[in-house]
Structure 1
Amino acid sequence: MSRFYFLGLLACLINTSALAAPASSTSLLYNVTGYSLNSGRVERFSALEFQGDTITAVYPTPEAAKASKANERIDGGGATLLPGLIDAHGHVGGYGKSLSQVDLVGVTSEKAAGARVAEVAATESKDWILGRGWNQALWPGKSFPTRESLDKVAPDQPVALVRIDGHALWVNSAALELAGIDASVSDPPGGQIIRDASGVATGVLVDNAMNLINQVIADDSDQQVVEYQRRALDKLAGYGLTSVHDARSDARSIRAYQALAEKQALAIRVYPMLDVLDAGIDPYLAAGPVIDPTHMLDIRSVKISADGALGSRGAAMIADYSDEPGHRGLLLLSDAELEHHINRAMAAGYQVNTHAIGDLANQRVLDLYQPLLAKNTAAGLRHRIEHAQVLRPQDIPRFRTLNVIASVQPTHATSDKNMAEDRVGADRLQGAYAWKSLLDAGTRMAGGSDFPVEHPNPFHGLYAAITRQGQDGEPPGGWLPEQKLSRAEALHLFTEGAAYAAHQEHLIGRLAPGYYADFILVDSDYFTMPESDIWKTRVLETWVAGRRVYGTD
């Protein structure tokens, strides 16, 4: 038995013993406006009863709740009660780490980004200045930044700043020198070193080229990884998330999750996707999925990336980028490599979740899934495409045909609306960010945010799915408004849909007897409040398995 598999079993046994003790009381949460979904249909109720970690009754009216024999009564204060929300695609460690780095989200110019770096350079002595969140699409001219602007504010300390989508890195000359990147270094497969007319690196590296820098940055310690995860999960609970699918976890991240699970220190449920390119995950594939009896840490999926992102022009497109003729993005793996990794994960009984943003990448993944699903009789493993962002219209029905889940992030549509048409042109927008078209075609779907690319607050995603607008209300009527979802459809993505995408639809995602008591109390009625205010919803309490993990008092 491998050491990693043993740790997973140990965590499960510890959690099982912790929950084996008889529940001391039955609790009734009353005086609420409760909502749940049942196969997408809205169900309303007035009180929720639970014993230990499990829901025992749902009462439709206050009168019906009088029949409860609960010995603990909790007054909900008239708040709205919803199922715990599930983010089907986030980056937990990256988010936790970003909380201690230079925050460049929303900066409006290259100069403004440099000013934030300058503040750190002037006050902190670090081996590296690290940051995340810049987006040149928001800047005048929309051009990639250069090393010169960082050289001015940090001439001696190496600087590495991750783009908002995580698919490009902006560095200074000191960082390039440490990595040995000069005009003689070729672009790696699946990566691009942006260069000037004379072939000199400008300071931006895209997708696989980022590894040239990452390999010279000192690794975080194991304890730091644990702390990033713990801090992130605590923050996520405050936004109303009771479960998260971590979209790429290497072996060390899994060990960190298991360490937290052993201490019963996972604030919310985690469904990690193993990084298929990390050799450390091979023992997991050899041993098969590890299912936690408490389902706080189920390990049964892998993550593969087929292409890059649209904002950095790394998404793999069938035709040229509209704003860069001759360029069609980046395929991160060869056909043979991609097929090999999909096949070995399916054969091991793991769900395969493949990142695909461009129409070429999505077509390619669907083409590879089709024969491999039949070969491995693996359709029941519920394979997914993460993002499914720019699709050929003819590929949309293939998701239903192949039983492939589309794992989408609604806030990407509203964040990208000012950039997407520049990249792909109006014609290709017919199949882009097409959540309603996918749903109407019968596609199983899950909703997420892709934090820290986007804000992790799920109410931002619900708002974006319903309005197709930014939080400023623009554009009037919504961007590509034919792709708007109803409130119930949007909530389904972040509850029942995300639960199904993790093989947990009989455990979480609904508020019904026999389900885990994962729920949230919020300050506004999601189904009756003005849709323009949905993103402002404030979470009052978050409960996971009958235990309050976040509260405002």
Structure 2
Amino acid sequence: MKLFRSSLIFALLSSTVSAAPVLLTNIQGYGFDEKGGLARFSQLAFDDQSGKVLARGHQLSGFAQAKTLDGQGKTLLPGLIDGHGHLLGLGQNLNQVDLRTSQSEADAVAAVAAFAKTQPQAQWVIGRGWNQVLWPERQFPGNTLLDEAISDKPVWLTRVDGHAGWANSKALALAGISKETLDPPGGEIIRDAKGNPTGVLIDNAMLLLEKQIPASTEAERQAALQAAFNHLLSLGITSVHDAGIDAATLQSYQQLKNAKQMPLRIYAMLSATDPELKNWLKAGPLLDPSDQLVVRSVKIYGDGALGSRGAALIKPYSDKPEQKGLFVTQPDQLTAVMKLSLDAGFQTNVHAIGDLTNRLVLDRFEQLATDEQRLQGRHRVEHAQIVAPKDIPRFAKLHILPAMQPTHATSDKNMAQDRLGVARLRGAYAWKSFVDQGSRIVGGSDFPVELANPFFGIHAAVTRQDQQNQPVGGWLPEQRLPLTQALKAFTVDAAYGAFQDQQMGSLLPGQWADFIVVDRDLYQIPAEQLWQVQVQQSWVAGQKKYQTTMLTP
């Protein structure tokens, strides 16, 4: 089957179109063999019409008529796969105020005010990325400073993890949130000593306000998705597992695919909160021989996040003993929607960050599915961030895949011990423990919660350090991964988590010719430099989709 061509033209892009196979020579190529072992090669042959790899090796024969490209000794890797991201959110964030680098509440407010002046026609001021843990006071912000800066239009600023939001009084009033408003199940309205809302809403309480924000138009959604596509290809990401889409986003994807404007691959998870879920499940999986848009899984939301103390814990938070976290989906409803998804034959992927939620999810997988169904279903726990040590072996026993994001550990290291204490860290961000028992980790970033750059994740997995090489020796260094294992998490193992390991992730003959060219050899540089790797070209199905440098004929 001939793979369709993308009609989208990028600023730095010129597509390769020819009838003959392409032979890429003089490369430092890395892929994987049939058993998952690292494979090296200096030549790669592919058909740019079928989009498939034809051969790889060191002295390939039978390609005398092929178009030859000199790789100039550059390093070539399989196209990287982000196993957990949010494309629409990423695209929207690229056009909103980014508070990721704010140094304090006042600094964040100043950034919001400056951004608002550039958007005078906007009905709402929208932003994301604040993290009170990184501010000197380490306390949630309030609406006092925000009201002083902007009082004439509503402001809504989502925390970096997406599990809390910060509003001014105008936004709270539009949502009808007052002293008398009750906390919804699975949510919390942060209040001052007099019981008045401070402007911060946790998890399900965010919905009280977000339903007031005007919905995006189809044109706005597609523009945001295109911005996300461009950004991800520039980072070497050729496939994304979109972790929870609604009906409108699925429609946008289908329209973009039909218009041949989807330049990378999407493995989409249906959001369990969408009213159309039952109808989607009845219709069955949406498969695609070109592997461009596949929908065969459901994303279910278990609990909140650690930073906002929404992750549900077995024992109370060490730094706030009156709290144990929140269930975004109540346990009975969690059971019902997991059963619905499993019975429909869909892969079931459950967000679980706290150790209590991880245990409940594992219990339900054990109760609701047979061993054969679990093995065939490749069901996943999204994040598997804090797991009781005795529950880690259950992932392997139940054939449940941990879908984990390495940069969460290096981002959370400043507050995780405060939240959990020392003892619970033994099962936190425990990548090596999972790998050692044979679990295949689906690697990802959780963008836009974290930055999408996959080399940041590979660096974090290998070093357990931030980009300033801190802490010395790594944070919980016993959980460091070897480089090859980290690379597998973002290639063939991520593909396995989408039933696509026979189609992509290894650069074996017959697989899609999805690959990237980078500026340095990962295996020849110090581990602390892994985050600095730059992508020079991204190819999908034998077609060049992004470039900053040319290869010579």
The offset of 1:40, in angstroms, is 3.5
Structure 2 match to 1:207: 203
Aligned pairs for 1:519-530 within 5 A = 519-530=515-526
SS in 2 for 1:272: strand
For residues 172 and 148 of structure 2, the distance between their equivalents in structure 1, rounded to whole angstroms, comes to 15
Structure 2 match to 1:501: 497
For residues 71 and 148 of structure 2, the distance between their equivalents in structure 1, rounded to whole angstroms, comes to 55
**Which of 438, 447, 462 is the equivalent residue of 1:466?**
462
Structure 1 match to 2:223: 227
Q: Deviations for 1:378-407, whole angstroms, at most 9, x for unmatched residues?
A: 541110000000010000000000000000
Moved more, 123-132 or 452-461: 123-132
Structure 2 match to 1:68: 63
For residues 208 and 534 of structure 2, the distance between their equivalents in structure 1, rounded to whole angstroms, comes to 42
Q: Deviations for 1:32-73, whole angstroms, at most 9, x for unmatched residues?
A: 1001123332111001000120000102x2xx1355334211
> Which amino acid counterpart does residue 324 of structure 1 have in structure 2?
K
**Which of 27, 30, 52 is the equivalent residue of 2:25?**
30
Say if 2:317 is the partner of 1:321: yes
Q: Is the 8 A contact 1:346 1:378 kept in 2?
A: no
Q: Is the 8 A contact 1:373 1:379 kept in 2?
A: no
Cα distance change of structure 1 residues 522 and 142 upon mapping to structure 2, 3 Å threshold: same
Structure 1 match to 2:475: 479
The offset of 1:101, in angstroms, is 0.3
Say if 2:173 is the partner of 1:170: no
For residues 118 and 185 of structure 1, the distance between their equivalents in structure 2, rounded to whole angstroms, comes to 28
Q: Is the 8 A contact 1:16 1:293 kept in 2?
A: no
The offset of 1:277, in angstroms, is 1.3
SS in 2 for 1:543: strand
Say if 2:289 is the partner of 1:293: yes
Query: Unaligned 5+ residue runs, structure 2?
Result: 8-16
Q: Is the 8 A contact 1:400 1:444 kept in 2?
A: no
> Which amino acid counterpart does residue 450 of structure 2 have in structure 1?
E
For residues 219 and 483 of structure 2, the distance between their equivalents in structure 1, rounded to whole angstroms, comes to 41
Q: Deviations for 1:72-106, whole angstroms, at most 9, x for unmatched residues?
A: 11111111010000000000000000000001012
SS in 2 for 1:304: strand
The offset of 1:419, in angstroms, is 0.7
For residues 316 and 502 of structure 1, the distance between their equivalents in structure 2, rounded to whole angstroms, comes to 27
Q: Deviations for 1:129-155, whole angstroms, at most 9, x for unmatched residues?
A: 000000000001200000111001101
For residues 154 and 90 of structure 1, the distance between their equivalents in structure 2, rounded to whole angstroms, comes to 31
Q: Is the 8 A contact 1:40 1:489 kept in 2?
A: no
> Which amino acid counterpart does residue 78 of structure 1 have in structure 2?
G
Aligned pairs for 1:128-527 within 5 A = 128-374=124-370, 377-527=373-523
The offset of 1:124, in angstroms, is 2.4
Cα distance change of structure 1 residues 446 and 518 upon mapping to structure 2, 3 Å threshold: same
Cα distance change of structure 1 residues 14 and 250 upon mapping to structure 2, 3 Å threshold: farther
Q: Deviations for 1:450-486, whole angstroms, at most 9, x for unmatched residues?
A: 0001110100000000000000000010000000000
Cα distance change of structure 1 residues 382 and 23 upon mapping to structure 2, 3 Å threshold: farther
For residues 56 and 193 of structure 2, the distance between their equivalents in structure 1, rounded to whole angstroms, comes to 67
The offset of 1:311, in angstroms, is 0.3
Say if 2:39 is the partner of 1:43: yes
Structure 2 match to 1:58: 56
Q: Deviations for 1:355-387, whole angstroms, at most 9, x for unmatched residues?
A: 000000000100111111129935411100000
Moved more, 171-180 or 369-378: 369-378
Identity level (%) = 48
Aligned pairs for 1:69-108 within 5 A = 69-108=64-103
SS in 1 for 2:294: coil
Structure 2 match to 1:4: none
For residues 473 and 263 of structure 2, the distance between their equivalents in structure 1, rounded to whole angstroms, comes to 38
> Which amino acid counterpart does residue 339 of structure 1 have in structure 2?
T
> Which amino acid counterpart does residue 441 of structure 2 have in structure 1?
M
**Which of 523, 526, 532 is the equivalent residue of 2:528?**
532
Cα distance change of structure 1 residues 36 and 139 upon mapping to structure 2, 3 Å threshold: same
SS in 2 for 1:282: helix
Q: Is the 8 A contact 1:270 1:297 kept in 2?
A: yes
**Which of 103, 109, 117 is the equivalent residue of 1:114?**
109
Q: Deviations for 1:501-523, whole angstroms, at most 9, x for unmatched residues?
A: 00000000001110000000001
- Say how many residue pairs are matched: 536
For residues 17 and 141 of structure 1, the distance between their equivalents in structure 2, rounded to whole angstroms, comes to 49
For residues 305 and 149 of structure 1, the distance between their equivalents in structure 2, rounded to whole angstroms, comes to 33
For residues 40 and 510 of structure 1, the distance between their equivalents in structure 2, rounded to whole angstroms, comes to 8
For residues 518 and 478 of structure 2, the distance between their equivalents in structure 1, rounded to whole angstroms, comes to 29
The offset of 1:422, in angstroms, is 0.6
| Deviation >4 Å, runs of 4+ | 12-18
Q: Is the 8 A contact 1:35 1:42 kept in 2?
A: yes
The offset of 1:280, in angstroms, is 2.2
What TM-score does the superposition give when structure 1 sets the normalisation length?
0.95
For residues 117 and 506 of structure 2, the distance between their equivalents in structure 1, rounded to whole angstroms, comes to 50
> Which amino acid counterpart does residue 57 of structure 1 have in structure 2?
A
> Which amino acid counterpart does residue 468 of structure 1 have in structure 2?
R
Q: Is the 8 A contact 1:48 1:58 kept in 2?
A: yes
For residues 394 and 371 of structure 2, the distance between their equivalents in structure 1, rounded to whole angstroms, comes to 18
For residues 178 and 64 of structure 2, the distance between their equivalents in structure 1, rounded to whole angstroms, comes to 73
> Which amino acid counterpart does residue 225 of structure 1 have in structure 2?
R
SS in 2 for 1:377: helix
Moved more, 375-384 or 171-180: 375-384
The offset of 1:156, in angstroms, is 1.4
Structure 1 match to 2:14: none
Q: Is the 8 A contact 2:445 2:457 kept in 1?
A: yes
What TM-score does the superposition give when structure 2 sets the normalisation length?
0.95
> Which amino acid counterpart does residue 126 of structure 2 have in structure 1?
L
For residues 48 and 25 of structure 1, the distance between their equivalents in structure 2, rounded to whole angstroms, comes to 14
Q: Is the 8 A contact 2:440 2:489 kept in 1?
A: no
The offset of 1:206, in angstroms, is 0.4
Q: Is the 8 A contact 2:374 2:399 kept in 1?
A: no
SS in 1 for 2:293: coil
Q: Is the 8 A contact 1:462 1:534 kept in 2?
A: yes
Query: Unaligned 5+ residue runs, structure 1?
Result: 1-11
CA RMSD between the two structures: 1.7
For residues 482 and 460 of structure 2, the distance between their equivalents in structure 1, rounded to whole angstroms, comes to 11
Cα distance change of structure 1 residues 511 and 123 upon mapping to structure 2, 3 Å threshold: closer
